[in-house]
Amino acid sequence: MKHSIYWAAALVLSAVGGGVIAFNSTRAGDERPELLAQPQVEAIEVIEATPFTLLAPKTHTWRAEAPAYTSGTLLVLRTSPENLIPRQTYEHVLYVGDETAERVNVGERSGYVIAIVPGDVDLASTPIFFGTPALPEQVTRAAAEIELAKATNLGVRGMGAARAAAVTGERIVLQDAYELYLQASVAIERFAPDEVDLVTGLRATRIR
């Protein structure tokens, strides 16, 4: 019940133009910083974008409908490391337009997050933003559209054609999700080298 009280509070705060949910009322030691109750306007910079095609479909467990897809975009994003502090409780959901994005690494120290988003993304016009705290697996497409509308109203925009062209690479063709994560591990190694255990784990030798 207390949880729903929080969300009710969040809605009220959103309705009056924004606010902060005090998930921890004060900070001490390693306590987690407060989460914004609504989509953030802080820019998320796109460093690289690599369209890909999978020969075997991958399930997008990051949205309630869990769609399968065979084409998508591998993104390298940069943001404030504080946005990337991992939590076991609710986290800001990363959106690319009206689609939830899969965060492959943590990025807490580097500020770089490597993300996978289903479909081919028009980066010139598609906003990338952190939305309302939630579990991505509970976010429906309809809820994602609402988040996009909120972000757009707050002024979040795409990067424009010139920048999009500059960061977008050649399409790659991969066998399946395992190979996609291997590809992601290369980006993690470059941009978040502190996450060496993640890289090692993703590169574990495939036995089947």
Partner 1 sequence: MRSTALTLAVGALFALPAAGSDLQLAGQQNTVALLGTSVPVTLTGGAGLPAVIYVDVSPGPISFAGESVALGFTPSALVLAGGVTNGAGVFASSLAVPVLPSLLGVTFYSVGVVLDPTDPNGLDFSNGASLGFTDVAVNPIEVELAGVPLASGPRFAWVTSLRESDPVRVAIDPALQPQLVGTNVDIYITAARTAAEWIATPSLVDVSSGGAETVAIGAGGVVANTFVADTGTLSGDAGASLGVAYDVVIDANQNGVLDSGDLIDGFSTGAGFYICRDPSVAGPFAVSSATYSGGSFLGQIVYYPTNIAALSNVPLVIVSHGNGHNYLWYGHIGQHLASYGYVVMSHQNNTVPGVVAASTTTLTNTDFLLSNLDTIAGGALLGKIDIARMTWIGHSRGGEGIAIAYDRILKGLYTPVNYTLSNLRLLSSMAPTDFQGPGQTNTHGVNYHLWVAESDADVNGCTSSDVAQPYHLFARATNQRQATTIYGAGHGDLHNGTGSSVAAGPCLLGRPVTHGIMRGYLLPLVEFHIRDNPAAKDWLARQYEDLAPQSAPVGINPCIVVNLQFREAASTGKLVIDTFEGGATSSVASSGAPITTNLANYTVGRLDDPDTVFTGNATQPFNGMTYARNTDFEGGGVFTFDNADAFLRYNLLPGQRDWSGLAALSLRACQSTRSTLTTGELGDASFTVRVTDTNGNGSSIRLADVLQGFEEPYQRTSCGVGVGWSNQFETLRIGLRQFQALTPSLDLSSIASVELRFGPSHGSPFGFFGIDDLEVVAD
- Residues forming contacts to partner 1 in the complex (CB under 8 A) are 1-3, 5-6, 22-32, 58, 61-62, 86-91, 102-103, 106, 108, 135-138, 176-178, 180-181, 194, 197-198, 200-202, 204-208
User: 109 — phi, psi (to 5°)?
Assistant: -95, -40
Name the region of 189 (left: φ>0; alpha: ψ -120 to 50; beta: rest). Answer: alpha
Q: Closest CB to partner 1 among 53 and 138? A: 138
CB of 49 to partner 1, least distance (A): 21
| Amino acid at position 1, single letter | M
- Distance between CA atoms of 100 and 87, rounded to whole angstroms? 18
* Nearest residue to 138 (alpha-carbon basis) of 3, 2, 16: 3
CB nearer partner 1, residue 66 or residue 166: 66
**Closest CB 7 distance from partner 1, rounded Å:** 11
Nearer to partner 1, 6 or 69 (CB): 6
Q: How far from the centroid of its chain's Cα atoms is residue 192's Cα? A: 16
Q: Count Cβ atoms below 10 Å from residue 91 Cβ, excluding itself.
A: 19
Residue 21 forms beta bridges with which residues? 35
Identify which of residues 170 and 206 has a Cβ nearer to partner 1 in the complex: 206
Compute the least distance from the CB of residue 190 to partner 1, in Å.
Answer: 18
Cα torsion angle, 71, 76, 82, 86, sign: positive
Task: State the nearest-atom distance from the C-beta of 73 to partner 1, in Å.
Answer: 17
Question: How far apart are alpha carbons 141 and 52 in whole angstroms?
Answer: 22
CB of 151 or CB of 180, closer to partner 1: 180
Find the shortest distance in angstroms from Cβ 164 to partner 1: 26
